[in-house]
Chains A and B, each alone.
Chain A
Amino acid sequence: MSSPPRKGPDLPNAAREPAARPAAGPASWDLAVIGAGPAGMTAAIAAADAGARAVVLDLGARPGGQYWRWGPATGDGRYHHGWPAFAALLRRFTTHQAAGRITYRSGHAVFQVEPLAADDAGGGQFRVHAVADERRREYAAVEAAAVVVATGAYDRQLPVPGWTLPGVMAAGAAQSLLKGSAVVAGRRVVVAGAGPFLLPVAAGLARAGARVVAVVEAGQPAGYLRRPAGLAASWRKLPEAGGYLAELARHRVPVLRRHAVIAAHGGERLSSVTVARIDAGWAVVPGTERALDADVLAAGYGFIPQVELLGEAGAQLAAGPGPGAFVALAGPDQQTTVPGLFAAGETTGVGGADLARIEGAAAGRAAARYAGRPVAPERRGTRRSRAALGRFAAVMESVHAVQPGWTRWPDDETVICRCEEVTLGELRTAISLGADDARSAKLLARPGMGWCQGRMCGHAVSAIIDSEAGRGGSGRTGTRDPGLAGPETLASRPLAQPVPLRVLAALAEDSAAGDSTVEDSGVEDTAVEETVGPPEPR
Chain B
Amino acid sequence: MPEPAAPRPRVAVTVDGAPWSVPAGASIAAAFTEHDAPGWRQTRRRAEPRGLSCGIGVCFDCLVTVNGVHGVRACLAEVRDGDVITTEKGSGFAERGA
Partner of A169, one of B30, B31, B45, B52: B52
Say whether B56 contacts A136, CB under 8 Å: no
* CB of A208 to closest CB in B, whole Å: 6
Say whether B24 contacts A498, CB under 8 Å: no
Partner of B25, one of A59, A73, A418: A73
Contact A174/B25 with A164-B50, A421-B45 known, Cβ cut-off 8 Å: no
Say whether B38 contacts A269, CB under 8 Å: yes
Which residue from chain A places its CB closest to the CB of B54 in the assembled complex? A170
Which residues in window 64-80 of B have CB below 8 A to A? 66-67, 69, 71-73, 75-78
Say whether A166 contacts B29, CB under 8 Å: no
Say whether B30 contacts A181, CB under 8 Å: yes
Number of A-B contacts (CB under 8 A): 152
Say whether B30 contacts A177, CB under 8 Å: yes
Tell me whether A435 is interfacial, beta carbon within 8 Å: no
Say whether B39 contacts A269, CB under 8 Å: yes
Say whether B76 contacts A173, CB under 8 Å: no
Which residues in window 18-72 of B have CB below 8 A to A? 23-27, 29-31, 33-34, 38-40, 43-46, 48-61, 63, 66-67, 69, 71-72
Stretch touching chain B among A231-239, A257-265, A437-445, A451-459:
A451-459
Partner of A174, one of B50, B55, B57, B69: B55
What are the residues of chain B within 8 A of A134 when measuring CB–CB? 72-73, 76-77
Which residue from chain A places its CB closest to the CB of B80 in the assembled complex? A135
Tell me whether B94 is interfacial, beta carbon within 8 Å: no
Tell me whether A245 is interfacial, beta carbon within 8 Å: no
Say whether A182 contacts B38, CB under 8 Å: no
Which residues in window 293-338 of A have CB below 8 A to B? 295-296, 306
Tell me whether B98 is interfacial, beta carbon within 8 Å: no
Say whether A135 contacts B27, CB under 8 Å: no
Say whether B56 contacts A455, CB under 8 Å: no
Say whether B26 contacts A73, CB under 8 Å: yes
Number of residues in B with C-beta < 8 Å to the partner?
47
Which residues in window 54-98 of A have CB below 8 A to B? 59-61, 66, 71-73, 78
Chain A CB within 10 Å — which of B25, B51, B59 has the most?
Answer: B59
Say whether B52 contacts A71, CB under 8 Å: no
Partner of A155, one of B54, B69, B75: B54
Contact A418/B61 with A154-B56, A209-B3 known, Cβ cut-off 8 Å: yes
Which residue from chain A places its CB closest to the CB of B44 in the assembled complex? A421
Say whether B69 contacts A177, CB under 8 Å: no
Say whether B58 contacts A455, CB under 8 Å: yes
Contact A536/B1 with A172-B55, A182-B23, A183-B23 known, Cβ cut-off 8 Å: yes
Contact A207/B54 with A61-B78, A452-B60 known, Cβ cut-off 8 Å: no
Distance of A139 Cα from B36 Cα, bound (Å): 35
Tell me whether B2 is interfacial, beta carbon within 8 Å: yes
Say whether B53 contacts A173, CB under 8 Å: yes
Say whether A452 contacts B26, CB under 8 Å: no
Say whether B24 contacts A268, CB under 8 Å: no
Tell me whether A161 is interfacial, beta carbon within 8 Å: no
Tell me whether A538 is interfacial, beta carbon within 8 Å: yes
Partner of B56, one of A61, A172, A451: A172
Tell me whether A431 is interfacial, beta carbon within 8 Å: no
What are the residues of chain A within 8 A of B58 when measuring CB–CB? 154, 306, 452, 455-456
Tell me whether B96 is interfacial, beta carbon within 8 Å: no
* CB of B85 to closest CB in A, whole Å: 11
Say whether B46 contacts A421, CB under 8 Å: yes
Tell me whether A460 is interfacial, beta carbon within 8 Å: no
Distance of A60 Cα from B55 Cα, bound (Å): 12
Which residues in window 163-207 of A have CB below 8 A to B? 164-170, 172-177, 180-183, 185-186, 207
Say whether B59 contacts A455, CB under 8 Å: yes
Partner of B59, one of A72, A109, A181, A452: A452
Tell me whether A503 is interfacial, beta carbon within 8 Å: no
Say whether B38 contacts A181, CB under 8 Å: no
Partner of A136, one of B45, B59, B69, B75: B69
What are the residues of chain B within 8 A of A182 when measuring CB–CB? 8, 23, 26
Which residue from chain B places its CB closest to the CB of A137 in the assembled complex? B69
Binding site for B on A (CB under 8 A): 59-61, 66, 71-73, 78, 107, 109, 134-137, 154-155, 157, 164-170, 172-177, 180-183, 185-186, 207-209, 268-270, 295-296, 306, 415, 418-421, 450-452, 455-456, 498, 536, 538
Instruction: List 29 interface pairs A-B (beta carbons < 8 Å), by A numbering.
Output: A59-B57, A61-B76, A66-B56, A72-B24, A72-B25, A107-B76, A135-B72, A165-B49, A166-B39, A166-B40, A169-B53, A170-B56, A173-B54, A173-B55, A174-B55, A177-B30, A181-B23, A181-B27, A183-B34, A208-B3, A269-B51, A306-B58, A419-B60, A420-B45, A450-B60, A452-B60, A455-B58, A455-B59, A498-B71
Query: Can you list the 3 inter-chain pairs with the closest CB atoms, starting with the nearest?
Result: A173-B55, A166-B39, A181-B30
Further pairs besides A71-B78, A72-B24, A169-B54: 19, Cβ < 8 Å: A72-B25, A136-B69, A166-B50, A172-B54, A174-B55, A176-B56, A177-B33, A181-B27, A182-B23, A183-B33, A208-B3, A209-B3, A418-B61, A420-B45, A421-B45, A451-B59, A452-B58, A455-B59, A456-B59
